[in-house]
Amino acid sequence: MQNKKYPSLLFRDRMKSIKEEVATLFDMILESNSKAIRLIENYDKETAEEIIEKSKEVDVLGYELERKCIKFIAIEQPLAGDLMFIESTIRVISHAKRIGYLSANIAESSQLTQDLNLPATLTNDLQHMADYVQIMLSKGIRTFLNQDLEMAKQLKDEDNRVDDLFDSILDQTTALLAQKTDDALGIIHVIFIARSLERIADRVVSIGTRTIFIKTNERPDIEDIKEDIE
């Protein structure tokens, strides 16, 4: 009996379909996050509602894609690198879903920060952080889709910059809370926005870590996989 050729044409088609759906999922969260960070400066209720609804769509699509990956493993029984990619895709999907909800959190919090008279240094740091995280997210997506090892290695250093900005914002908002008690709720939501941005950056690093694992088969440090554990 002739050995079955691996990978089969059907195998390649199914793998291609999964990669295309992952790309679609990534496009959705990238667009949602881009719209969410624009709301920080100029809130728009209709856009905020769109982002919140999109996060639910990302969640549904994510679960469907997870099921598709599990079915793929059961039917096609992929080997070595293909199996590692599919298993990592399942983990990356969970990060994408969470990023969608974090973008929705930013949209919701932005409504309560619009009337604040914040110091220029604080607003500049928050906008810088938002723009930086958007760039990180774009790079993280390209890292996984293109299996770009070198770009994946850069993400951890970039996350350190986001952490520095978060610390600066936290220091400034903490000082403001003592001065402007009437604006306490809005200032707290500035912290919520910064925290959501910081968590998105963490998720992006975890996506990069998965790429490194696929390419090198080396176990990442425990700090690099904290998001997978949580």
Q: What residue spans define the domains of the chain?
A: 9-229
Going by C-alpha positions, the residue among 64, 134, 135, 125 that lies closest to residue 102 is 134
- Token readout for 123 is 């607003």
SS (H, E, C) 161-186: HHHHHHHHHHHHHHHHHHHCHHHHHH
- Token readout for 54 is 């999109």
State the pLDDT confidence band at 104, using cuts at 50, 70 and 90. Answer: very high
**Cα(116)–Cα(42) distance, integer angstroms:** 12
Mapped onto helix, strand or coil, the DSSP state of residue 216 is helix
**Cα(12)–Cα(75) distance, integer angstroms:** 13
CATH 1.20.58.220 correct for 9-229: yes
Mean pLDDT in residue range 52-61: 97
Instruction: Give DSSP secondary structure letters for 20-84.
Output: HHHHHHHHHHHHHHHHHHHHTTS--HHHHHHHHHHHHHHHHHHHHHHHHHHHHHHHH---HHHHH
For residue 229, the 8-state DSSP code is H
Residues 78 and 8 sit within 8 Å (Cβ to Cβ): no
Condensed to tens digits (0 to 9), the pLDDT of residues 3-35 reads 555 567 888 888 899 999 999 999 999 999 999
Residues 214 and 84 sit within 8 Å (Cβ to Cβ): yes
Task: Determine the pLDDT at residue 28.
Answer: 97
Mean pLDDT in residue range 96-119: 95
Condensed to tens digits (0 to 9), the pLDDT of residues 118-174 reads 999 999 999 999 999 999 999 999 999 999 999 999 999 999 999 999 999 999 999
